[in-house]
């Protein structure tokens, strides 16, 4: 049975292979084993020496031009000479401690120190210390290096930086349960070009080993036991992708323009803070949609103003000078957060969600969030974006909240800056009133997923694929065109942030309609730029005009397909 799991892609490539569940040494296990043995200081010194030599040879094995990677590993070499790590261990041993216990204590101390820090970069580094500790213990116990057969896709709870380097020439893909795009092992996998999907929560529950698997790191998908059709589709896709890959990646960081020089901006949709790094790395020119819901998930109480401030600050700094548009909390009875009480509604998508909850239910939570955004505005260009707007009173009330937040920050003596104010256009009513709303906002972002759901009266969670749910439906395109016309010449910034912004069928039409800014998943940035570069504006306008006249989404898709064939561009579909 085919099974699809979702995670976060860290390197935009595809891989098809057989799964091996990596059997690795864990620190805890080895410490316990070592504690049962008699280990002298000299044994320990030998293990340290061996470890040092191994790390040095790992550094030498790195391909040229990857200095960043050697710096990651050098950190471990430095620890081997650091008084507060290795010095501390010897001190404990001299006091009579078992070397394994001394090592454990030193590692725990570092773990604790790192976990207290605000920097998310630093918290990720604990893994480096554990990597080093594991290597020392492996040498202390005289175990051999972990190995796998060539061409395998490895699955593991987590990985260490040195493991990825040691396995890199054998492994065709990596799937991990934990980890983020900022984890050192993920950065190394990215730099070494291994298709990698991290944060696949269900991986070890669903996978037994030896299954056939497709790793689609472009979309963060893992497809276990794919059907024959699916496998064939991916084989073709992979062949095309591998062919264009170098060209697309070489130009990832360059600004994109159409063939005749119309500038197309490609920015990122983010859901997690570590994606900031991926977005910056793959050439996103800002953030078109920062979904803030993730900040509220997996915990018992809402995140503090300071915590949110640090998150937004990191985003504006890393993606400077681009804008970062932060969508304020968008929850409702369909997207619940356990500590925020919510009514049960028979029809949640049409119930109280988004800005409709800001006047009473979650007013204080949103106020705190707005204060955090305003404080981040002192560090870079940022915008506050309200979700699910349908009429002007909501925009006015939203702006009132911003005023209250400003006053409170002033009274509290906190530094803050000016944030742009914007709205999501994701209801037909907001699209049809766009010409009124422009007087009140600095920017608008069209969320095509919800706009499609509300225009076509199709539940996006149930029927997310064509023919029922299709963001290329001419009625949706006409609404988009209406918004474009309303905004034209007003200085209000307009972007599209739904799935359609990265749909290869939709991109030519959106640009042809007049959209100049597309907000997409970070890893797709280079591809969207690539597609924008393939055509001239006049031919895209012609295509868009035909699409506006179509009477079904199927007709629109046929138009685009013919267009690509005419232009001799192969369709890469993700």
Partner 1 sequence: MKIVEARVQILNKVGLHARPAVQFVKEAKKFNSKIIVCKEGESGDAKVLLQVLALDVQYGDEIIIKAEGEDAEEAIKSLIELIKNKFGEE
Rounded to the nearest 5°, which phi and psi values hold at 362? -120, 25
Query: What is the rounded distance in angstroms from the CA atom of residue 242 to the CA atom of residue 232?
Result: 15
Query: What is the rounded distance in angstroms from the CA atom of residue 70 to the CA atom of residue 73?
Result: 5
Query: Among residues 24 and 253, whose Cβ is nearest to partner 1?
Result: 253
CB-neighbour burial class of residue 401 (10 A; exposed 0-12, middle 13-18, buried 19+): buried
Q: Concatenated DSSP letters for 514-560? A: T--EEEE-GGGHHHHHHHHHTS-HHHHHHHHHHHHH-SSHHHHHHHH
Contact status: 121 vs partner 1 (CB under 8 A)? yes
330's tokens: 């968008």
Query: Among residues 119 and 400, whose Cβ is nearest to partner 1?
Result: 119
Return the H-helix or E-strand segment holding 459.
none
Contact status: 228 vs partner 1 (CB under 8 A)? no
What minimum distance in Å lies between the beta carbon of 72 and partner 1?
A: 7
Contact range with partner 1 by CB under 8 A, out of 64-72, 356-364, 393-401, 541-549: 64-72
Strand partners, 17: 213
Contact status: 71 vs partner 1 (CB under 8 A)? yes
Contact status: 571 vs partner 1 (CB under 8 A)? no
What minimum distance in Å lies between the beta carbon of 91 and partner 1?
A: 14
Query: What is the rounded distance in angstroms from the CA atom of residue 242 to the CA atom of residue 210?
Result: 25
Contact status: 3 vs partner 1 (CB under 8 A)? no
* Residues 137, 107 contacting (CB under 8 angstroms): no
Query: What is the rounded distance in angstroms from the CA atom of residue 53 to the CA atom of residue 47?
Result: 10
Query: Among residues 179 and 195, whose Cβ is nearest to partner 1?
Result: 179
Query: How many chain residues bind partner 1 (CB under 8 A)?
Result: 24
* Residues 487, 434 contacting (CB under 8 angstroms): yes
Contact status: 128 vs partner 1 (CB under 8 A)? yes
Q: In the window 361-400, what residues touch partner 1 (CB under 8 A)?
A: 379
Query: Among residues 162 and 328, whose Cβ is nearest to partner 1?
Result: 162
Interaxial angle between packed helices 392-411 and 363-376, expressed in degrees from 0 to 180 and rounded to the nearest 10: 70
Query: What is the rounded distance in angstroms from the CA atom of residue 261 to the CA atom of residue 22?
Result: 49
Query: What is the rounded distance in angstroms from the CA atom of residue 6 to the CA atom of residue 3?
Result: 10
Active-site residue, 160 included: no
Using DSSP's 3-state secondary structure scheme, residue 257 falls into strand
Q: Choosing from 98, 160, 184, 473, which is the catalytic residue?
A: 184
Contact status: 315 vs partner 1 (CB under 8 A)? no
Residue among 504, 524, 513 at smallest CA distance from 564: 504
Contact range with partner 1 by CB under 8 A, out of 121-129, 212-220, 226-234, 387-395: 121-129
What minimum distance in Å lies between the beta carbon of 132 and partner 1?
A: 12
Contact range with partner 1 by CB under 8 A, out of 69-77, 202-210, 211-219, 362-370: 69-77
Query: Among residues 117 and 573, whose Cβ is nearest to partner 1?
Result: 117
Q: Choosing from 160, 471, 473, 497, which is the catalytic residue?
A: 497
What minimum distance in Å lies between the beta carbon of 87 and partner 1?
A: 8
Contact range with partner 1 by CB under 8 A, out of 114-122, 242-250, 417-425, 535-543: 114-122
206's tokens: 């669903």
Contact status: 470 vs partner 1 (CB under 8 A)? no
What minimum distance in Å lies between the beta carbon of 223 and partner 1?
A: 34
Query: Among residues 257 and 317, whose Cβ is nearest to partner 1?
Result: 317
Contact status: 104 vs partner 1 (CB under 8 A)? no
**Of 83, 149, 228, 229, which one interacts with partner 1 (CB under 8 A)?**
83
What minimum distance in Å lies between the beta carbon of 141 and partner 1?
A: 26
**Of 79, 268, 384, 431, which one interacts with partner 1 (CB under 8 A)?**
79
**Of 50, 111, 240, 318, which one interacts with partner 1 (CB under 8 A)?**
318
Contact status: 117 vs partner 1 (CB under 8 A)? yes
Contact status: 85 vs partner 1 (CB under 8 A)? yes
Query: Among residues 322 and 354, whose Cβ is nearest to partner 1?
Result: 322
Contact status: 343 vs partner 1 (CB under 8 A)? no
DSSP 332: B
Contact status: 110 vs partner 1 (CB under 8 A)? yes
Query: Among residues 117 and 392, whose Cβ is nearest to partner 1?
Result: 117
Query: Among residues 90 and 505, whose Cβ is nearest to partner 1?
Result: 90
523's tokens: 């890893």
SS3 string of 123-183? HCCHHHHHHHHHHHHHHHHCCCCCCCCCCEEEEECCCCHHHHHHHCCCEEEEEECCCCCCC
Strands 152-156, 221-224: pairing kind: unpaired
Query: Among residues 122 and 239, whose Cβ is nearest to partner 1?
Result: 122
Active-site residue, 206 included: no
Interaxial angle between packed helices 67-81 and 126-141, expressed in degrees from 0 to 180 and rounded to the nearest 10: 60
What minimum distance in Å lies between the beta carbon of 248 and partner 1?
A: 20
Hey, CA dihedral for 70, 76, 77, 83, is it positive or negative?
A: positive
Contact status: 78 vs partner 1 (CB under 8 A)? yes
DSSP 419: -
Q: In the window 156-175, what residues touch partner 1 (CB under 8 A)?
A: none
SS3 string of 188-253? HHHHCCCCEEECCCCHHHHCCCCCEEEEECCCCEEEECCCHHHHHHHHHHHHHHHHHHHHHHHCCC
Hey, CA dihedral for 527, 530, 532, 538, is it positive or negative?
A: negative
**Of 11, 25, 44, 75, which one interacts with partner 1 (CB under 8 A)?**
75
Contact status: 304 vs partner 1 (CB under 8 A)? no
Contact status: 84 vs partner 1 (CB under 8 A)? yes
Contact status: 545 vs partner 1 (CB under 8 A)? no
Contact status: 296 vs partner 1 (CB under 8 A)? no
Footprint of partner 1 (CB under 8 A):
68, 71-72, 74-75, 78-79, 82-85, 110, 113-114, 117-119, 121-122, 125, 128, 317-318, 379
Catalytic positions: 184, 497
């Amino acid at each position: 049975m085919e099974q699809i799991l979702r995670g976060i892609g860290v390197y935009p490539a595809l891989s098809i292979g057989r799964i091996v569940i990596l059997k690795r040494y864990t620190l805890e296990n080895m410490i316990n084993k070592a504690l049962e043995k008699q280990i002298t200081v000299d044994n320990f010194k030998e293990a340290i020496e061996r470890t040092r030599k191994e790390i040095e040879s790992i550094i030498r094995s790195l391909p040229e031009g990857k200095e960043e990677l050697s710096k990651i590993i050098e950190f471990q070499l430095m620890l081997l000479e650091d008084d507060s790590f290795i010095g501390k261990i010897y001190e404990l041993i001299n006091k009579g401690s078992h070397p394994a216990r001394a090592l454990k204590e030193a590692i725990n101390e570092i773990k604790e120190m790192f976990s207290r820090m605000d920097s998310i970069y630093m918290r990720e580094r604990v893994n480096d210390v554990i990597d080093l500790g594991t290597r020392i213990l492996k040498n202390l116990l005289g175990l051999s290096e972990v190995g796998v057969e060539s061409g395998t896709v490895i699955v593991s709870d987590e990985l260490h930086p040195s493991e990825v380097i040691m396995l890199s020439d054998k492994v065709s893909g990596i799937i991990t349960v934990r980890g983020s795009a900022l984890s050192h092992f993920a950065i190394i996998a990215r730099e070494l070009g291994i298709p990698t999907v991290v944060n696949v929560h269900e991986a070890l529950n669903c996978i037994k080993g030896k299954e056939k698997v497709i790793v689609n790191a472009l979309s963060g998908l893992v497809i276990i036991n794919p059907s024959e059709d699916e496998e064939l589709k991916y084989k073709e896709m992979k062949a095309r992708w591998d062919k264009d890959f170098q060209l697309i990646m070489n130009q990832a960081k360059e600004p994109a323009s159409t063939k005749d020089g119309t500038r197309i901006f490609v920015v990122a949709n983010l859901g997690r803070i570590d994606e900031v790094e991926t977005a910056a790395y793959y050439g996103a020119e800002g953030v078109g949609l920062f979904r803030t819901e993730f900040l509220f998930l997996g915990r018992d109480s809402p995140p503090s103003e300071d915590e949110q401030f640090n998150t937004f600050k990191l985003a504006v700094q890393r993606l400077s000078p681009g804008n970062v548009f932060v969508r304020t909390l968008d929850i409702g009875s369909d997207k619940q957060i356990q500590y925020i009480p919510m009514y049960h509604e028979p029809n949640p998508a049409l119930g109280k969600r988004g800005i409709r909850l800001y006047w009473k239910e979650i007013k204080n939570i949103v106020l705190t969030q707005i204060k955090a955004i305003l404080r981040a505005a002192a560090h870079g260009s940022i915008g506050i974006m309200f979700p699910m707007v349908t009429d002007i009173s909501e925009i006015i009330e939203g702006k009132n909240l911003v005023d209250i937040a400003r006053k409170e920050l002033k009274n509290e003596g906190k530094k803050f800056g000016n944030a742009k104010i914007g709205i999501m256009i994701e209801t037909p009513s907001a699209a049809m009133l766009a010409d009124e709303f422009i007087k009140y906002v600095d920017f608008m972002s069209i969320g095509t997923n919800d706009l499609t759901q509300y225009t076509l009266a199709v539940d996006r969670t149930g029927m997310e694929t064509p023919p029922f749910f299709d963001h290329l439906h001419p009625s949706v395109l006409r609404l988009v065109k209406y918004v474009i016309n309303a905004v034209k010449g007003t200085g209000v910034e307009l972007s599209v942030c739904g799935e359609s912004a990265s749909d290869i069928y939709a991109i030519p039409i959106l640009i042809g309609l007049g959209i100049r800014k597309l907000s997409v998943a970070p890893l797709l940035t280079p591809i969207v730029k690539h597609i924008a570069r393939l055509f001239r504006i006049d031919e895209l306008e012609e295509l868009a005009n035909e699409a506006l006249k179509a009477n079904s989404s199927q007709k629109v898709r046929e138009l685009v397909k013919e267009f690509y064939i005419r232009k001799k561009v192969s369709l890469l579909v993700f």
